[in-house]
Structure 1
Amino acid sequence: MSDIIAYKKDGVIIDTQSYDASRDAGASEILYDNSKDALEVIRHSCAHLMAEAITALYPGAKFFVGPAIEDGFYYDFRVTKENGEKLGENDLETIEKKMKELVDAKLDITKTCSTKAEVLAKFKNDDLKQEVLKRIPEGEVSIYSQGNFEDICRGPHVPNTKFLRFFKLTRVAGAYLGGDENREMLTRIYGTAYADKASLLEHIRIIEEAKKRDHRKLGNEMKLFTFDDEIGAGLPIWLPNGARMRSKIEKILFVVHRRRGYEPVRGPEILKADAWKISGHYTNYKENMYFTNIDEQEYGIKPMNCVGHIKVYQSELRSYRDLPLKFFEYGVVHRHEKSGVMHGLFRVREFTQDDAHIFCMPSQIKENVLEILSFVDNIMKNFGFEYEMEISTRPDKAIGDENVWAVATNALKEALDENGFKYGIDEGGGAFYGPKIDIKITDALKRKWQCGTVQVDFNLPERFELGYIDENNEKQRPVMLHRAILGSFERFIGILIEHTAGELPFFIAPTQVVVVPISESHEKYAKEIQTKLRNLEIDSEIYSKNESLNKRIRTAEKARVPMILVIGDSEVENKTVALRDRRARTQSQLGLDEFLDLTQQKLKEVNF
């Protein structure tokens, strides 16, 4: 039987150091395994194990916070090595070695409790501990100790370091103190831990594979996008290859939106601050926005497209017969992201949403939510993604009456429940103006990514006094559904690159065909092929540089072009092509018309 490492009662994990059989009667056992609760305890404890190892190796180190996170743990701390250098990736192996020694020592992890005043006095000379204590309310404060290390912590932790045998430190990063970019940059080390070796090795394999698939690396190799310090951080520049790929996705989605009854609209990218005050963004989202002054009037650059679409709705009188009204836009938005959290295309300061807003009667909420979910299912299946859904409820920072929130949240739950959809609940994860369904896709490495969203909003129609005339000729308030399927083109493309390892589906590949003429005499036929492909809306390039045939083929391979055509005397004479199909991993000789038909079949393999 596995060891008990903690307990759980009323949704709260209680470690063995805190467990009281008489007080905590009815608590369930958490065993030493890879369950979610067990891993939370193991990983939190492993963060402390790492901190103890760092303390032993670098006695001057001071520690801020070290929580468990979704797939591991981290610790933020201040340290400088004896030679004055900061810790780097090369130091992880040394820290791991010391951690293993501490595991073998089988040190008990103990808990003591004191008043906040006593703990403040105890750590009066440690500025980072003082920062931690500022964030803790008055009352009892717990300290966990093991060996020569102790830290302020609420737990939970395993009872002994012997349970921390299977771990790996993954990377070193910088982290601003308390997430404030105006404060000191601390060192952060990430790691992960499991209850068995096999699970750890599989996680390490995935990390190594993720490095190979990193969209920043592949984006550079495939010449899709770039970033430039002279332009600014978090502002992607789309190169021709990336712009071609992106435009194909946009074109497909445009056609599907129109087929589903959406009307294209476009709002301005900068609006008077007054509009953002009405919407609630000024109060609840201002720190994420950019503002400027024009003619002594304050303006805000839009972080969302909803206000522009509201103004489209208000442009004329609406009847119940007009509803639902569906407006969509590839809306460029700007959000202030801290420099420490930006990451390739995943977190940027400018991005484009495949955004839509549906204005409908309350009685139409369910049918429109279901139509959106049908849309989501179609898009995700065509891109090869599995997905799951999660309902996010009212956050602490929210606008609107709680009863209105309850009605909106129940509308989402009813739509999912009545149609047998499985979903999770993210308490407090909703937008400030309404609850939402988040669409989380799973990639080839089993990582989950939040992309699309469906939000029910009674608040903005109220704030902007939207209305429609009902069948009794009386004014009523519509409901506003906010909806994005990809989330943003930037983030989705980054995920898609990593999901496919750059082997993008034929229908959106930036260059779908490369034609490689063996010699100059074959270039005329190569151009003829390119013209025919262009007429079929297939993007192609001719590789005719003064390089060896093998090098040109290798260049096309590195660019992950789906189809490579080699053209020589036989092909010119017989109007054929020598095809190398990267996706099918085959080589064949086809007539030119037969090959052109094949490209059209490839485009029809998806059904949007």
Structure 2
Amino acid sequence: MQVEVAGQNVEVEKGGVIGDVLKSVLSNKQYKNTVVARCGGALLDLTAPVPEDCPALEPVSAESPEGLDVIRHSTAHLMAEAVKKLFPQAKVTIGPSIENGFYYDFEFERPFTPEDLEAIEAEMTRSVGADKPFSRRNVTADEASRLFDAEGENYKVELIRDLGAPEVSLYTHGGFTDLCRGPHVPRTGLLKAFKLLTVAGAYWRGDEKNPQLQRIYGTAWANPKDLAKHLHQLEEAKKRDHRKLGTQLDLFSFHEEAGAGFVFWHPKGALLRAILEDFERKEHLKRGYEFVQGPLLLKRDLWERSGHYDNYRENMYFTEIDEQAYGVKPMNCLAHMIIYKSRIRSYRDLPKRFFEHGVVHRHEKSGVLHGLLRVRSFTQDDAHIICRPDQLQDEIIGVVNFVRDVMSLFDFDFTAEISTRPEKSIGSDEDWERATEALTNALDTMGLPYEINEGDGAFYGPKIDIKIKDALGRSWQCATVQCDFTLPDRFDLMYVGEDGDRHRPVMIHRVILGSVERFIGVLTEHFAGAFPVWLSPVQARIVTVTDAQNPFAEKVLRFLREKGIRAEADLRNEKLGYKIREAQLEKIPYMLVVGDKEVEAGAVNVRLREGGDPGMKPLEDAAAMILDAAQEPFKRGGMRYSFSTATGPAD
């Protein structure tokens, strides 16, 4: 038979090996960089025979997404082999590839230590040096079960039973055999760029009723250069960890005595939130939104009608008042619909754009809580747009443009993803199709590329998820736009049309930042705690050389605050260098040094947190410099920054 490879037709005998076919056509360099091959939609081992129905073979390089996935999965097997050799009593479970790496879960009698990880990694390196081949064989499920049962690997036996397939595939390298559908790299010698990272707890199949396992995480790359780059990025991420910076900058804290997953905002953190939320309120008013607010508790009957009780109750908290069951709101949509229904609406009234900084509570398992990024109580910058069907596309475009304007302030690039109907959902197929079409048409009209994320929509409608990239290239999901024909029907939302009849509106659920807490966590890491001047809780700190300058420093403080600059003064009897270092550690944008010369000149000596020394400036010039820096990000979008508090900038 003939198979096309790299534009050439190659004659292949029956049973011909994929690797041999590729090697006959590709350059030596290209072949050495090939880890598996693609035939149609399937990835195949290089040691496999060419399928009889394969018209073309495409080499998959180590650096490609598919190639990296194979490398990482193969490295997970390499790690499992090392663990079994060093700790024969350990039981293996599953070891998939994940973004940037892999993990494998083990049952073992004691926790793995950092020294264990070093030993495991050294054993993996020895296996790489031995250049052991990965070989695949297909066996009956019964044969595989007997094999793993004899080795005491009961988790593998359970997996085989649950697969329910008459035949399974096994992969072996050296003396280690694992249940796996593959494919894998041809030999362990190709796995030369990996690092074991951490150990975490994990329940078998994610169920806390099952045995607790130990999960070893690692990372693997196509070459040592890419590995080194990633490890450097991980080190930089540690420095930027928002939990560490939150303490250093005195923004927030968590307290187990009060309950896991609940944030305590300190004065500077609360001010940071207030600045961000005040900015959002003004931007929403400019775009025609109206402010509303709903209660934290609603009767369970409403959550049953909406479908939350059937589809989301494991994430909710419930309580009882006067023998009546209530649910603590995990979302704000029900209150907004009730407000909409409080009066008759005309087609001329639409769209209605209801906005709320709504506090919600969701039951997250303790194992997934993570600083500000995953909490149990948080604030959504939540809005619901209730509109006529003919207004739907323009409203979706308006929301995406809103997201683009806001994210540009923080220098975030973003990508879009459309998530479609999940298995657990409500509503008719027709409504889901209409909603999905509205989202795709809006993005197509804007010329924005997007990917389809099958089955990951909300239970009541499909959604656009906006993913932003931070300074380290990490992806975060923040903004979302959900299109919903179903809840307006369940809650009998109506408007009077131009024809005088009653019509059903459509509802858009949307957030711009998402969770305010989570977004601040992302921002903290994105800027490494050095927030833009407009967002910094303290924009300037006045630092005195000796106590003799304190009266003038207090005068400077009053002057700056009257100009709308968030300033404070360090009047402690400490050395100047110590005060400057503290201000730099606290990431304060401007340090205004006051000594005898500055007092005499009625000026301040300006220093910047990122280094540099603009030098002595008259007070007016120093204030103008700070205010101009606060305005700078807004000039790009034609916006103007104003934060109207007693000590903040005025319009």
Deviation at 1:216, TM superposition (A): 0.9
- 1:554-595, Cα deviation, whole Å (9 max, x unpaired): 111110111111111122222101111224633321101111
Does residue 86 in structure 1 map to residue 116 in structure 2?
Answer: no
For residue 256 of structure 1, the aligned residue among 270, 280, 283 is 283
Q: Secondary structure at the match of 2:422?
A: coil
Equivalent runs, 1:177-576 vs 2, <5 Å:
177-576=204-603
For the Cα contact (< 8 Å) 1:65–1:132, is it kept in 2? no
Separation in 1, partners of 2:127, 2:91:
19
Judged with a 3 Å threshold, the aligned counterparts in structure 2 of structure 1 residues 558 and 196 are, in CA distance, closer, same or farther, namely same
- 1:435-482, Cα deviation, whole Å (9 max, x unpaired): 111111011111111110011111111111111110001111111001
Q: Secondary structure at the match of 1:497?
A: helix
For the Cα contact (< 8 Å) 1:271–1:301, is it kept in 2? yes
Q: Secondary structure at the match of 1:408?
A: helix
- 1:11-53, Cα deviation, whole Å (9 max, x unpaired): 4433345654214x13542433211111111111110101101
For the Cα contact (< 8 Å) 2:38–2:60, is it kept in 1? no
| Paired position in structure 2 for 1:40 | 69
For the Cα contact (< 8 Å) 1:176–1:340, is it kept in 2? no
**Please, what TM-score do these two structures have when normalized by structure 2?**
0.90
Does residue 106 in structure 1 map to residue 135 in structure 2?
Answer: no
Judged with a 3 Å threshold, the aligned counterparts in structure 2 of structure 1 residues 52 and 388 are, in CA distance, closer, same or farther, namely same
Separation in 1, partners of 2:158, 2:308:
30
- Percentage of identical aligned residues: 48
Q: Secondary structure at the match of 2:632?
A: coil
| Paired position in structure 2 for 1:13 | 43
Q: Secondary structure at the match of 1:123?
A: helix
**Matched AA of 1:91:** D
For residue 164 of structure 1, the aligned residue among 148, 170, 191 is 191
For the Cα contact (< 8 Å) 2:532–2:630, is it kept in 1? no
For the Cα contact (< 8 Å) 2:543–2:579, is it kept in 1? yes
Separation in 1, partners of 2:425, 2:140:
34
- 1:111-153, Cα deviation, whole Å (9 max, x unpaired): 2333333333333333322443454234322222211212222
What runs of 5+ residues in structure 2 fail to find an aligned partner? Answer: 1-29, 640-651
For the Cα contact (< 8 Å) 2:384–2:510, is it kept in 1? yes
Separation in 2, partners of 1:234, 1:280:
26
Deviation at 1:412, TM superposition (A): 1.0
| Paired position in structure 1 for 2:15 | none
For the Cα contact (< 8 Å) 1:2–1:33, is it kept in 2? no
Separation in 2, partners of 1:67, 1:541:
52
- 1:361-381, Cα deviation, whole Å (9 max, x unpaired): 111111111111111111011
**Matched AA of 1:253:** E
Deviation at 1:232, TM superposition (A): 1.1
Q: Which stretch has the larger CA shift, 425-434 or 152-161?
A: 152-161
Q: Secondary structure at the match of 1:604?
A: helix
| Paired position in structure 2 for 1:75 | 104
For the Cα contact (< 8 Å) 1:181–1:339, is it kept in 2? no
**Matched AA of 2:200:** A
Q: Which stretch has the larger CA shift, 130-139 or 304-313?
A: 130-139
Q: Which stretch has the larger CA shift, 6-15 or 360-369?
A: 6-15
Separation in 1, partners of 2:591, 2:405:
30
Separation in 2, partners of 1:585, 1:425:
47
Q: Secondary structure at the match of 2:633?
A: coil
For the Cα contact (< 8 Å) 1:181–1:338, is it kept in 2? no
Deviation at 1:192, TM superposition (A): 1.4
**Matched AA of 2:450:** Y
- 1:190-241, Cα deviation, whole Å (9 max, x unpaired): 1111112211111111111111111111111111111111011111111111
Judged with a 3 Å threshold, the aligned counterparts in structure 2 of structure 1 residues 10 and 284 are, in CA distance, closer, same or farther, namely farther
| Paired position in structure 2 for 1:142 | 169
Separation in 1, partners of 2:365, 2:416:
28
| Paired position in structure 1 for 2:12 | none
| Paired position in structure 1 for 2:10 | none
**Please, what TM-score do these two structures have when normalized by structure 1?**
0.96
Separation in 2, partners of 1:542, 1:208:
34
| Paired position in structure 1 for 2:78 | 49
Deviation at 1:599, TM superposition (A): 2.1
Separation in 1, partners of 2:467, 2:512:
10
Judged with a 3 Å threshold, the aligned counterparts in structure 2 of structure 1 residues 180 and 537 are, in CA distance, closer, same or farther, namely farther
Q: Which stretch has the larger CA shift, 172-181 or 63-72?
A: 172-181
Deviation at 1:170, TM superposition (A): 1.7
For residue 577 of structure 1, the aligned residue among 579, 584, 604 is 604
Q: Secondary structure at the match of 2:568?
A: strand
Runs of 4+ in structure 1 over 6 Å off: none
Separation in 1, partners of 2:189, 2:60:
14
Separation in 2, partners of 1:344, 1:484:
21
For the Cα contact (< 8 Å) 1:7–1:27, is it kept in 2? no
Separation in 2, partners of 1:285, 1:522:
61
Deviation at 1:182, TM superposition (A): 3.4
For the Cα contact (< 8 Å) 1:63–1:128, is it kept in 2? yes
Q: Secondary structure at the match of 2:196?
A: strand
How many residues are matched?
Answer: 603
Q: Secondary structure at the match of 1:373?
A: helix
Q: Secondary structure at the match of 2:132?
A: coil
Separation in 2, partners of 1:182, 1:339:
14
Separation in 2, partners of 1:120, 1:236:
48
Judged with a 3 Å threshold, the aligned counterparts in structure 2 of structure 1 residues 26 and 431 are, in CA distance, closer, same or farther, namely farther
For the Cα contact (< 8 Å) 1:265–1:309, is it kept in 2? yes
Equivalent runs, 1:589-600 vs 2, <5 Å:
589-600=616-627
Deviation at 1:303, TM superposition (A): 1.0
Separation in 2, partners of 1:16, 1:403:
45
For the Cα contact (< 8 Å) 1:408–1:434, is it kept in 2? yes
For the Cα contact (< 8 Å) 2:416–2:465, is it kept in 1? yes
**Matched AA of 2:465:** D
**RMSD of aligned Cα (Å):** 1.7
